[in-house]
Chains A and B, each alone.
Chain A
């Protein structure tokens, strides 16, 4: 598989080089854009034994900057690149009671070149797999405060037993949305949209293993009935042995009615390590003017161990007084029903923060 990908990549690279030789107006139409955002919050966590404040970078939509460039190659054909890196200190998904401060570091998100035209889009490099984000389609307007990625806020905190000892699974290991293989080095193809639908496929490598992903994306405006967006995807990562293979199937759909009422649903199944892990999520929301509010519920089954059940209920609010800023608040409670019989204490998390686009 690796060899096939290398050959494919070389072919695309050669094609891009050949085409770039025919650039008809080298300096004409080139556009370089620099943008980014800062997203900081105060988070309060109570795990039943300790409670503490944290100054965090919101892992739902981290602090980052992006440099992108596009240029026309020929009539109807554009070549472009995206360089995006995040710079998080105290990521909200990583801090714990024992580790409140985590030094900032750069993490690559996108290092991508692409060619797009009437045939669709071909991307090569580090970037989203074909199905990345298919578990996170959300039109509620509150996604910066809470969404299906339940582990993005407080994912590092471990449940405690009644005696106050740490009993093991963290929020992040017991309830995640299993959003496929995220970003990795890959070759990806997206079809043009047909009636709101588009297909995507990617081949690449992640964690030293081959990965392939496929997804069907949809977005449509139904006039008076509002907007609907959704995606279904499949990913498979090879492993050195059969039980180490990682296979995810899932999707999400979100409907925003013209009145502001909205519903979001997501479900995924992951097979790896000889265990089937499930995730189910629902969100009800309401948008009015520059405000959005929502309630959500999520459940992870068999994720941390066979028959473990981890549940989350939450509420979120976002105020967007200007187009470049969100001010938000969220609260949620995580519960673990451990198969081991240990009585785990609930974890409560509150967060207030702001995201500013620069």
Chain B
């Protein structure tokens, strides 16, 4: 009898031919934004995208450029800029 009831309910649901959606259980924490956490609805940490790693990568890239560009006009221009900046700092009031 129970099995028949379960089958009848399953058949009724199956007959609807509807597009699935994600049902969120009513007693769980609400989906969507939070009062402190904004649109994310949670404080989100992404360790793999930490800023120090990005800074380190940028520094490495600069070192590579310095080694490869030495002697080029672009490099001489960079040295002129550094000298000008040092002169400006020395003569600052």
Interface residues of A (CB under 8 A from B): 25-37, 60-61, 64, 66, 133, 136-138, 143-144, 147, 149, 193, 195-197, 216-223, 225, 227-230, 232, 249, 251, 253, 269, 323-326, 355-358
A357 CB to nearest B CB, Å: 5
Interface residue from B6, B21, B35, B43 paired with A33 (Cβ < 8 Å): B43
Q: Which residue of A lies closest to B23 (CB)?
A: A219
Interface residue from A33, A222, A232 paired with B18 (Cβ < 8 Å): A222
CA distance in complex: A217, B37 (Å): 31
CA distance in complex: A300, B42 (Å): 39
A103 CB to nearest B CB, Å: 23
Q: Is the CB of A217 within 8 A of B34?
A: no
Interface residues of B (CB under 8 A from A): 2, 6, 9-10, 13-14, 16-23, 25-30, 32-37, 40-48
Q: Is the CB of A35 within 8 A of B18?
A: no
- The answer to whether A251 and B9 touch (CB under 8 A), given A29-B48, A324-B34, A357-B35, is yes
Q: Is the CB of A37 within 8 A of B36?
A: no
Q: Is the CB of B29 within 8 A of A35?
A: yes
Q: Is the CB of B44 within 8 A of A228?
A: no
Listed from nearest, the 7 A-B pairs whose CB atoms lie closest are A220-B18, A143-B26, A35-B42, A27-B48, A219-B23, A196-B20, A33-B42
Contacts of B45 in A (CB 8 A): 31-34
Interface residue from B6, B10, B16 paired with A220 (Cβ < 8 Å): B16
Contacts of A36 in B (CB 8 A): 29
Q: Which residue of A lies closest to B45 (CB)?
A: A32
Q: Which residue of B lies closest to A68 (CB)?
A: B42
Q: Is the CB of A33 within 8 A of B16?
A: no
Q: Which residue of B lies closest to A29 (CB)?
A: B48
B75 CB to nearest A CB, Å: 34
CA distance in complex: A269, B27 (Å): 22
Classify the secondary structure of A's interface with B.
Answer: strand
CA distance in complex: A197, B48 (Å): 35
Q: Is the CB of A269 within 8 A of B48?
A: no
Q: Is the CB of A251 within 8 A of B32?
A: no
Q: Is the CB of B21 within 8 A of A220?
A: yes
- The answer to whether A232 and B27 touch (CB under 8 A), given A30-B46, A249-B2, is no
Interchain Cβ contacts under 8 Å between A and B, 8 examples? A32-B44, A33-B44, A33-B45, A36-B29, A193-B20, A196-B21, A222-B18, A230-B13
Q: Which residue of B lies closest to A61 (CB)?
A: B27
Interface residue from A26, A61, A253, A269 paired with B9 (Cβ < 8 Å): A253
Contacts of A137 in B (CB 8 A): 23, 25-26
CA distance in complex: A269, B2 (Å): 9
Contacts of A32 in B (CB 8 A): 44-47
Contacts of A216 in B (CB 8 A): 6, 10
B86 CB to nearest A CB, Å: 39
